């Protein structure tokens, strides 16, 4: 056994020996000059390690609407300032929010940053290249020297996540990250057959059917800050189950607990069943109440929207139109999931409660007659 180990130990010792004999300084005073001959760049300028590269962003989080363009700010500069331009390479990469939400806990995020980031764009001088779902959809703003802000066109709900702007200068490599979120609205969703019927996968699926996604913790938290109060627990994208309470009461965590998000923590994604909190990013199209001479049953309603070249609206679309476009209509209408609802932004008599909101009649029998909301 020892016979086997000895050569191995010798090899390790060799690697541990100080390397001063190879011409590299064995210690550093933090300001060490390289061999002058390797310090000339293409412009004949002599540089040294006292120059620092700064990469900055004035906004660490940007929110945008679906279908629009967005600019993720990023700027670099040298300190002290340099007289001649240097050949700098810029790389934008991306960690999709799905990848962030798929993580079990905070401590895995740094590992995922390295393994799951994908390239968005690489630029050097005037040459640039974009990749994957961003091909042909991104450019650098370049409004001033050093401006490497990323402009993304035709945003879709999948573009959210953490973007890294990395500036690479043979000398140094610095980066900054900018979070991209969609403006949108959180809404609770429950099954036609009643409360607490969705496991995690089903919750993901029903949100998608409503043109939405499972909400993140941050999205539910913002919704709570804006006044969402809902005493039924729902799945979030990270696999936790929570609900938002603004006025504490019995049965919703109790009177003694201060307002906030009530959390059941991580639940069994397969076996445990709850409602869902969905997030609908702002929509590009419009939702409208169909002008029609008579009321309609569910099949007639869907057909009437189709006759107009539209679709019967989904719940997420109605919420987005209500919250982000101020849709206000005191007429109950069918939606694609078979529920009947109407959106109120300025509360008034005979239009439900005294708070703005989307009123919900649940899922009436489909031969009953109502109006209809279409989406185009």
Ligand X SMILES: *[C@@H]1O[C@H](CO)[C@@H](O)[C@H](O)[C@H]1NC(C)=O
Which residues here bind ligand X, judged by CB under 6 A? 156, 158, 297-300, 366-367
Nearer to ligand X, 157 or 186 (CB): 157
Contact assessment for residue 241 and residue 199, using Cβ atoms and an 8 Å cutoff: no
**What does the alpha-carbon distance between residue 212 and residue 214 come to, in Å, rounded to a whole number?**
7
* In the complex, minimum distance from the CB of residue 269 to ligand X, in angstroms, rounded to a whole number: 18
End-to-end CA distance of the chain: 77
* In the complex, minimum distance from the CB of residue 50 to ligand X, in angstroms, rounded to a whole number: 46
Nearer to ligand X, 186 or 304 (CB): 304
Q: Residue 234 burial by CB count (10 A; 0-12/13-18/19+): exposed, middle or buried?
A: buried
Q: Residue 77 burial by CB count (10 A; 0-12/13-18/19+): exposed, middle or buried?
A: middle
* In the complex, minimum distance from the CB of residue 299 to ligand X, in angstroms, rounded to a whole number: 4
Nearer to ligand X, 90 or 236 (CB): 236
* In the complex, minimum distance from the CB of residue 100 to ligand X, in angstroms, rounded to a whole number: 14
* In the complex, minimum distance from the CB of residue 203 to ligand X, in angstroms, rounded to a whole number: 15
Nearer to ligand X, 34 or 299 (CB): 299
Structure-token pair, residue 361: 């009649």
CA atoms within 13 A on the CB side of 349: 0
Q: Residue 76's CB: how many other CB atoms inside 10 A?
A: 21
Question: Among residues 279, 273, 303, 316, which one has the least CA distance to residue 372?
Answer: 303
Question: Among residues 89, 57, 85, which one has the least CA distance to residue 145?
Answer: 85
Beta bridge partners of 360: 341
Contact assessment for residue 308 and residue 268, using Cβ atoms and an 8 Å cutoff: no
Nearer to ligand X, 65 or 156 (CB): 156
CA atoms within 13 A on the CB side of 292: 23
**What does the alpha-carbon distance between residue 374 and residue 300 come to, in Å, rounded to a whole number?**
12
Query: Residue of minimal CB distance from ligand X?
Result: 367
Nearer to ligand X, 156 or 263 (CB): 156
* In the complex, minimum distance from the CB of residue 208 to ligand X, in angstroms, rounded to a whole number: 8
Nearer to ligand X, 143 or 366 (CB): 366
* In the complex, minimum distance from the CB of residue 156 to ligand X, in angstroms, rounded to a whole number: 4
């Amino acid at each position: 056994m020892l016979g086997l180990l000895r050569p191995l130990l010798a090899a390790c010792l060799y690697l541990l020996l100080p390397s001063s004999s190879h011409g590299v300084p064995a210690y550093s005073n933090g300001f060490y000059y390289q061999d002058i001959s390797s310090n000339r760049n293409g412009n004949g300028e002599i540089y040294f390690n006292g120059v620092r590269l700064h990469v900055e962003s004035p906004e660490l989080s940007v929110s945008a609407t679906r279908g629009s363009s967005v600019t993720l700010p990023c700027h670099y500069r040298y300190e002290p300032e340099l007289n001649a331009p240097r050949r700098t390479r810029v790389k934008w990469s991306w960690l999709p929010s799905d990848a962030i939400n798929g993580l079990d806990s905070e401590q895995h995020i740094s590992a995922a940053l390295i393994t799951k980031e994908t390239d968005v764009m690489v630029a050097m001088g005037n040459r640039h290249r974009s990749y994957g779902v961003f091909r042909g959809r991104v450019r650098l703003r370049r409004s001033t020297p050093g401006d490497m802000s990323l402009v993304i066109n035709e945003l879709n709900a999948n573009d959210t996540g953490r973007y890294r702007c990395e500036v690479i200068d043979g000398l140094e490599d610095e980066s900054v990250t900018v979070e991209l979120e969609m403006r949108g609205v959180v809404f609770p969703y429950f099954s036609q057959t009643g409360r607490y019927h969705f496991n995690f996968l089903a919750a993901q699926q029903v949100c998608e059917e409503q043109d939405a996604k499972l909400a993140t913790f941050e999205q539910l938290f913002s919704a709570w800050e804006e006044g969402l109060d809902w005493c039924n627990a729902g799945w979030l994208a990270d696999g936790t189950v929570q609900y938002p309470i603004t006025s504490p009461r019995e049965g919703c965590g109790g009177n003694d607990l201060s307002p906030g998000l009530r959390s059941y923590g991580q639940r069994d994604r397969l076996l445990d069943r709850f409602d869902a909190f969905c997030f609908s990013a702002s929509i590009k199209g419009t939702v409208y109440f169909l002008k029609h001479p008579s009321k309609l049953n569910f099949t007639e309603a869907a057909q009437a929207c189709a006759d107009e070249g539209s679709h019967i609206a989904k719940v997420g679309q109605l919420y987005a139109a209500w919250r982000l476009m101020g849709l206000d209509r005191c007429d109950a209408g069918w939606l694609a999931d078979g529920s009947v609802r109407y959106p109120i932004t300025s509360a008034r008599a005979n239009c439900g409660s005294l708070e703005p909101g989307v009123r919900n009649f649940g899922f009436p029998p489909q031969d009953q007659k109502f109006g209809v909301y279409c989406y185009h």
